[in-house]
Amino acid sequence: MTATTSFYESAYDPQAVLDSNEFKVLGPDDPVLGDKTANIACAYNPAHEVNMVRKPRPVARDGEVVVHVRATGICGSDVHFWKHGHIGPTMVVTDECGAGHESAGEVIEVGPGVTDLRVGDRVAIEAGVPCSRADCDACRTGRYNACPRVVFFSTPPYHGTLTRFHAHPAAWLHRLPANMSYEEGALCEPLSVALAGMERAGVRLGDPVVICGAGPIGAISLLAAHAAGCYPLVITDLFSSRLEFARSLVPTVKTVQYPFGYCSANEIDLQFQYRYANQYPKAIRLVSGGLINLKPLVTHRFPLEKAVDAFQVAADPSQGAIKVQIVD
């Protein structure tokens, strides 16, 4: 660790994985894919390929646990990194980079200093681990989503959680109640995005809400706005199949193919939200308490060894996928 590198940036240095003798890009028929003890993962690279890879199996260090990842959703950002190789000028795929940040799993190993988790606990993984340094304004003021040194798993160069075994700081794991599945735990990540946006917008009971886009984030935002008592609700999309899906979630929603020119002509103000902070506990309470039902969002499921096939479905609108999840 240097003066400009945080503890977590050093601890999760992706080059250590790439330089390991165990790291290997796997072909579609590699027998390693059938080995349930192997730490296989799905990764994208600068050639716009998505591959299965083998990584070294992690060992829990101080403050960490090892999680057997049981469910991971494919995010639109995962597909974008694969297809386009970057998001903006700083998040650039420069090598094999593990995908996935919408994950939940089972604790299988507990490292030194961890007292609030034990083997067998079921947890949702909050994938963004900020530096937590006192000289970081974002971390010090509770806006850790804006931490410039954040290790956000699956954002290059850091390997993601679409893997069998993942080591994670215990402080950034959230125990799941008994009535929540791993799939629902994984969906708490996009739900946290939606909740952060609603909080930033100051949405209140009875407010009218327009949601632009009926993909996974839009659909979850619709569920959250409905649970919050917003009315009327309008959702837009270019694909009629997604609008039909939105109506199946909330029958009272109005669906339109909505031109952004309307926003300009009516001087609609836009605010922007970057990821989320302090939302996971709320997301878990809402799902566990029955206020938000995320189960219909998962339209396609694949085993881990078929994660490449899962990416093909997630990237093809004609397949009708809302949320594709990989289970193990």
Per-domain boundaries in the chain: 7-190+276-285+288-327, 191-271
pLDDT of the residue at 3: 52
The DSSP bridge pattern shows strands 173-175 and 254-256 to be: unpaired
| CATH class of the 7-190+276-285+288-327 domain in this structure | alpha beta
Task: Report the alpha-carbon distance of residue 240 to residue 242 in Å, rounded.
Answer: 5
Output the pLDDT for position 1. 45
For position 2, what pLDDT does the model report? 47
Q: Are the folds of 7-190+276-285+288-327 and 191-271 the same?
A: no
pTM for the predicted model, two decimal places: 0.95
CATH topology of domain 191-271: Rossmann fold (3.40.50)
The predicted pLDDT at position 258 comes to 67
- Which stretches in the chain have pLDDT values below 70? 1-3, 258-260
pLDDT of res. 141: 96
Backbone angles phi, psi at 98, to 5 degrees: -65, 140
Q: What is the pLDDT of residues 99-154, one digit of tens each?
A: 999 999 999 999 999 999 999 999 999 999 999 999 999 999 999 999 999 999 99
Pairing mode of beta strands 323-327, 298-303: parallel
